[in-house]
Amino acid sequence: MKISSQEIVQQIKSGDKPFFEKLYGYFYHKLSYFANQYLHDVDEANSITQEVFTELWERRESLVDNTNIHAWLFTVTKNKSLKRIQKLKTKKNFDDYMRNRQLEISHKALSDFDTSELVFEELQQKVRDALDQLSPSVRVVFEKSRFEDKRNKEIADELGVSIKTVEAHISKSLKLLRKELKEYLPLLYILFFLK
């Protein structure tokens, strides 16, 4: 812009919106490009540039007459970019911490998880004991669904009942298994709940 910094400040301080829009048009891409060189994120850089101009407009009356507007715009852009980078670093550190914490918990749980033959035999016996608590019609539906891998419609057609009845019987069976075999839930979920 071929106008002195003092004149720019005077125009802004006077609330000259058309002039402010010209200033915005002149500097927007320069400031956004500057911020993006450090943030490596066009959306973040554009957001910061918007914030810079919003702040300029809101603080226009407090600008000192001899303010170098170029320096002011780039300094505010720089400071906002630094804050954004710090915030992103903090978030990344927190996300990394949470991810590592979750991995530690998973590692511990998996290390402690017993997948021996004995456990599977014990689980099979407990499943049989739990299924013995069901009525014969509920048990038949569950076994056809989970052991014979039949679809609900196939079971309904085969047994001459509605699909809703099949769904209700399966739901009742799974609820009982969940209650009776709490200590085996991870395995139980994989074996019977995923379908």
Can you give the CATH number for the domain in which 94 is found? Answer: 1.10.1740.10
Residues 81 and 151 in one domain: no
| Structural tokens at position 69 | 């507007």
At residue 1, the pLDDT reads: 57
Q: Choose one of 65, 90, 109: the last residue of a domain.
A: 109
Q: Choose one of 79, 109, 139: the last residue of a domain.
A: 109
Residues 92 and 130 in one domain: no
Axis crossing angle, helix 136-146 with helix 117-131, rounded to the nearest 10: 140
CATH number at residue 158: 1.10.10.10
Residues 92 and 148 in one domain: no
At residue 156, the pLDDT reads: 95
Task: Name the residue range of residue 98's domain.
Answer: 5-109
At residue 139, the pLDDT reads: 94
Residues 63 and 90 in one domain: yes
Q: Choose one of 83, 109, 135: the last residue of a domain.
A: 109
Q: Which residue has the higher pLDDT, 42 or 109?
A: 42
At residue 109, the pLDDT reads: 67
**Average pLDDT for residues 64-80, to the nearest whole number?**
91
Residues 9 and 98 in one domain: yes
At residue 7, the pLDDT reads: 86
At residue 166, the pLDDT reads: 95
Q: Residue 180: which pLDDT band, with cuts at 50, 70 and 90?
A: confident
Residues 10 and 105 in one domain: yes
Residues 29 and 98 in one domain: yes
Three-state SS for the chain is CCCCHHHHHHHHHCCCHHHHHHHHHHHHHHHHHHHHHHHCCHHHHHHHHHHHHHHHHHCHHHCCCCCCHHHHHHHHHHHHHHHHHHHHHHHHHHHHHHHHHHHHHHHHHHHHCCCCHHHHHHHHHHHHHHHCCCCHHHHHHHHHHHCCCCCHHHHHHHHCCCHHHHHHHHHHHHHHHHHHCHHHHHHHHHHHHCC
Residues 12 and 69 in one domain: yes
Q: Residue 114: which pLDDT band, with cuts at 50, 70 and 90?
A: low
At residue 67, the pLDDT reads: 86
pLDDT at 195 over 70: no
Residues 178 and 122 in one domain: yes
Domain count for the chain, please give it. 2
Residues 131 and 184 in one domain: yes
